[in-house]
Amino acid sequence: MNVKPEIDSKSAAPILLKADQTTPALAIAADGAGIIIKAGTTFQGRSFDGREVIPFPESSRVPGSDYAVALLKGGGAEIVRLTSADLGSDMLGGFHYAPGGNASARAGGDTVPVINTYSLHDLNFRPACPDPRGMALIEQTHGRKFWCDIYLLGVDHVANGTSKFGVTIADGNERPINPATGKPFKKLDYETAVAVMAHHGKQLLSFEEFADAMIGVTEKTSIGSDPEVTKLDALRTSRFGIMQATGNMYVWGHDGDPDEPRASIFGGSWWGGGNAGSRRADLDCWSDDSLDSLGARGRSDHLQLG
């Protein structure tokens, strides 16, 4: 659901005004060489007409990284690497620079690094969770929106967040860190997966959400061996740029029951072969399972102010 949380006026984010509240204030330049702040946007007292392209030079691009658009004291704007969960007071919004492109049909994506258009966010249009890094906006056919982690959950989510490129994937053998102890959980069962996501203000995907987010992958295929780390698997990248979306790791989720959601697993693992895909689901899985082929992926409600 779209949420509008209460904001403490003493710690309110800098004022952001936009001509269109239903889209992010940022857009990708026509040639992909930079970012445009849309016309009708006012941030920190400065207005934008949509003509200025903020450069994103090849030399500063790191595939699998998150970036923010920040105002300069001299009046301009620049793109900076976003290395923490918080957008600074000078940051209007940001995006994810993916290691490969989104699926355009039903056969996965490609290996050309690109800004994921679904990752564009600003202070008023973003995931409702505290950390917007590594997430993509999923627009469902019936109009509902939510954000999904681009990457599978990593072991050290406390330091890295739940969605980071190039880290060890959390599973039943490589368990995620318990924030309360600083040591790994004893297992990665359903309860643990729920707790990890809750620590970050996120939740697990329902089956309907999973199926919508993973559309576009090469169905009925698997990667063939334990992926071990979060990375590009172009054949199994979704329309929204979700990486290792299917055929890599089963992920914990739930069946979508609004009152008593049942532990479920989705997507198929690396050994799933023709059984893997965006509609692969076991909706009545044992909630205490903890396997080397079973990980997790987070989601967040959509925050839209104004």
Q: Which residues are CB-contacts of 121 (< 8 A; sequence separation ≥ 6)?
A: 24, 26, 93, 94, 95, 127, 132, 135, 137
Helices (H), 130-201: 157-160, 190-199
pTM: 0.94
Q: How confident is the model at residue 89 (pLDDT cuts 50, 70, 90)?
A: confident
Q: What is the pLDDT of residues 39-78, one digit of tens each?
A: 999 998 899 999 999 999 999 999 999 999 999 987 789 9
Q: What is the pLDDT of residue 272?
A: 83
Domain boundaries, the chain: 12-127
* Residue 46 structure tokens: 């400065």
Closest CA to 149 of 56, 39, 251: 251
Q: What is the pLDDT of residue 14?
A: 58
CATH of domain 12-127: 2.80.20.10
